[in-house]
Amino acid sequence: MSTRFVRILGVMVISLCLGLVSAVPGAALAGPTGGAGIGDPYFPQDGNGGYQVGHYDLGIAYDHPSKRLAGTATLTARTTQRLTRFNLDLLLRASAVKVDGRAARFTQGARELTITPPRALAKGQRFTVTVTYAGVPSALSSRGEKAWFTTPTGGLAVGQPQVAAWWFPSNDHPSDPATFDIRVLVPRGTEAISNGTLVGTRPSGSKVLWHWKMTSRIATYLAFVAIGDYTIEQGTAGGYRYLYALDKALPAKVAANARKSLRTTPRVTAFLARRWGPYPYSSIGGVVPAVTFDFALENATRPVYDPGFFERGASSGIVVHEMAHQWFGDEVAVKRWKHIWLNEGYATYSEWLWSQARGGTSTQAHFNRVYRNYEASNPFWKTRIGDPGPSKIFDDAVYDRGAMTLHVLRKRIGDRAFHRLSTRWYRDNPDGLGSTREYIDLAEKITGRNLDPLFRQWLFSARKPTSTR
């Protein structure tokens, strides 16, 4: 994610049950009831315990005049313990729930949908849960945040660390990634853009059904939908299939700058692939809606950008940042949100590398600028970015000091070892999840060095490092 003002650099029912993914360790649970949280201390109610989701099959319809969304979601999952009850994260109101095709009892609070299946689910059992739901997502908030935005001709689901609960029931935490089928029913003349590959569009009376498919596992916050009147540009460039979508309500100058910026995506992707390894997905792209939400987000295959990034001209730097996340944050997600420096540090450092490669400011000059700009007494150095706390996961220090940590590490271990570390972190990660400890262990394994002092100084100290080597 990049924040616009703080940092410019950086109704239908369709269900389909597909294959499952391996279990991902969650919170320790006692008894047959799934927890109303996956065990992340930063956001205790995010995600749920007792099961892992393998696939989401979503069918939604959105009515722009009433701002109402109606949908049915079928989740294919596997239990990690015996369950007599389990939870899903959902802000919209559920009207019916089925488990394995049979009606199930449920209760719903502000955020948690608690489901009691007709019979207990055994440990290791594969099951499906289908939820029918509806509401006005733009009217809802959680933790003081909104993640559904109304545009001049439609709506947009985008947000971090949470967004799914505004438009589909889920196990809403990065540590439970899944594959997706996303079907969106919209009026003729309206576009519906989402992740992955556009399987096709199918007329249905006065409406059109758009079907998107994401065959790689992604975190729920990386799934998005943009509905409205968009200009779509698609094709192949540099060996990458691309799809760009620009809201027709954008001012002409902003649209022109945004189009020029998005068209750098194939070149940016090739640049990043040379440094971090093969691009992890089957397509690239970007979406610019006509609404202000003050950040850009690395939605898998297709980042979404606030139009403010393009008010003053084209910007390839923000494209670099969000596309770098396709490796760091998307393909390898964080086990817990405290490890977010791994996402934002690599995305910011990718910007520095891009700048240097294009003959601009060097990585060392970027490092020096940040180091010199902040005096030792500045709060910038007080945040322990290896565990910044829930209110500071998007703090400037997480981005810039994350990149500085990587730069110091690269100088310490050398370019070749740093390249091996970065590519192996992405390539050899068996569960698609990462933590700071795992990263340090891999760095020490590759180099044969004790690197704890370096990481302790740059990630966990609340003082300005006196040594930059």
- Residue 376: helix, strand or coil by DSSP? coil
Under 8 Å CB-to-CB from 360, ≥6 apart: which residues? none
Q: How many residues does the chain have?
A: 469
Tell me the C-alpha distance between 202 and 442, whole Å.
48
How many Cα atoms are found within 13 Å in the side-chain-facing hemisphere of 163? 21
Greater pLDDT, 22 or 232: 232
Query: What does the block give as tokens for 173?
Result: 């935490």
Q: Is residue 32 within 8 Å of 120, Cβ to Cβ?
A: yes
Q: Say whether pLDDT at 8 is over 60.
A: no
Q: What is the pLDDT of residue 32?
A: 67
Q: Say whether pLDDT at 321 is over 80.
A: yes
Looking at residues 145-156, what average pLDDT do you find? Answer: 97
pLDDT band at 4 (very low <50, low <70, confident <90, very high): very low
Q: Say whether pLDDT at 323 is over 50.
A: yes
Tell me the C-alpha distance between 117 and 129, whole Å.
9
Distances in Å between the Cα of 279 and the Cα atoms of 227, 268, 282, 326, 426 are 27, 11, 8, 8, 10
φ, ψ at 344 (rounded to 5°): -75, -30
| Torsion sign across C-alpha atoms 301, 25, 86, 148 | negative
Domains of the chain plus CATH, in order, are 2-324 (2.60.40.1730), 333-460 (1.10.390.10)
Q: What is the pLDDT of residue 2?
A: 72
Q: Around Cβ 126, how many Cβ atoms within 10 Å?
A: 15
Looking at residues 320-330, what average pLDDT do you find? Answer: 98
Tell me the C-alpha distance between 380 and 372, whole Å.
12
Greater pLDDT, 257 or 3: 257
Looking at residues 16-35, what average pLDDT do you find? Answer: 44
Summarised one tens digit per residue, pLDDT across range 425-466 is 989 988 999 999 999 999 999 999 999 999 999 999 999 998
Rounded CA Rg of the chain = 22
Summarised one tens digit per residue, pLDDT across range 387-430 is 999 999 999 999 999 999 999 999 999 999 999 999 999 899 88
Q: What is the pLDDT of residue 142?
A: 92
Q: What is the pLDDT of residue 47?
A: 94
pLDDT band at 33 (very low <50, low <70, confident <90, very high): confident
Under 8 Å CB-to-CB from 129, ≥6 apart: which residues? 74, 75, 77, 88, 97, 98, 99, 104, 115
Q: Could you give the strand order of the β-sheet that contains 112-116, starting from the edge strand earlier in sequence? A: 86-89, 112-116, 105-108
Query: What does the block give as tokens for 149?
Result: 């935005």
Distances in Å between the Cα of 334 and the Cα atoms of 68, 330, 347, 422, 456 are 33, 9, 14, 15, 19
pTM score, whole prediction:
0.92
Tell me the C-alpha distance between 137 and 341, whole Å.
30
- Residue 260: helix, strand or coil by DSSP? helix
Q: Say whether pLDDT at 19 is over 60.
A: no
Distances in Å between the Cα of 349 and the Cα atoms of 2, 344, 404 are 13, 8, 8
pLDDT band at 10 (very low <50, low <70, confident <90, very high): very low
Buried b (16+ CB within 10 A) or exposed e, 192-218: bbbbbbbeeeeeeeeebbbbbbbebbb
Summarised one tens digit per residue, pLDDT across range 195-220 is 999 999 999 999 999 999 999 999 99
Looking at residues 169-192, what average pLDDT do you find? Answer: 97
- Residue 286: helix, strand or coil by DSSP? strand
Tell me the C-alpha distance between 426 and 331, whole Å.
7
Question: How big, in percent rounded to 5, are the helix, strand and coil portions of the chain?
Answer: 30, 30, 40
- Residue in the structure block whose two tokens are 């600028």: 369
Q: Could you give the strand order of the β-sheet that contains 148-151, starting from the edge strand earlier in sequence? A: 148-151, 154-157, 225-228, 191-193
Q: Say whether pLDDT at 91 is over 60.
A: yes
Q: What is the pLDDT of residue 3?
A: 59
Q: What is the pLDDT of residue 462?
A: 95
pLDDT band at 469 (very low <50, low <70, confident <90, very high): low
φ, ψ at 131 (rounded to 5°): -125, 130
Please name which of 170, 147, 194, 211 lies closest in space to residue 14, comparing C-alpha atoms: 211
Summarised one tens digit per residue, pLDDT across range 240-270 is 999 999 999 999 999 999 999 999 999 999 9
- Percentage of residues in the chain having pLDDT higher than 70: 93
Q: What is the pLDDT of residue 27?
A: 37
Under 8 Å CB-to-CB from 19, ≥6 apart: which residues? 54, 55, 76, 179
Residue 454 is which amino acid?
A: L
Tell me the C-alpha distance between 385 and 340, whole Å.
8
Under 8 Å CB-to-CB from 381, ≥6 apart: which residues? 374, 397, 462, 463, 464
- Percentage of residues in the chain having pLDDT higher than 90: 90
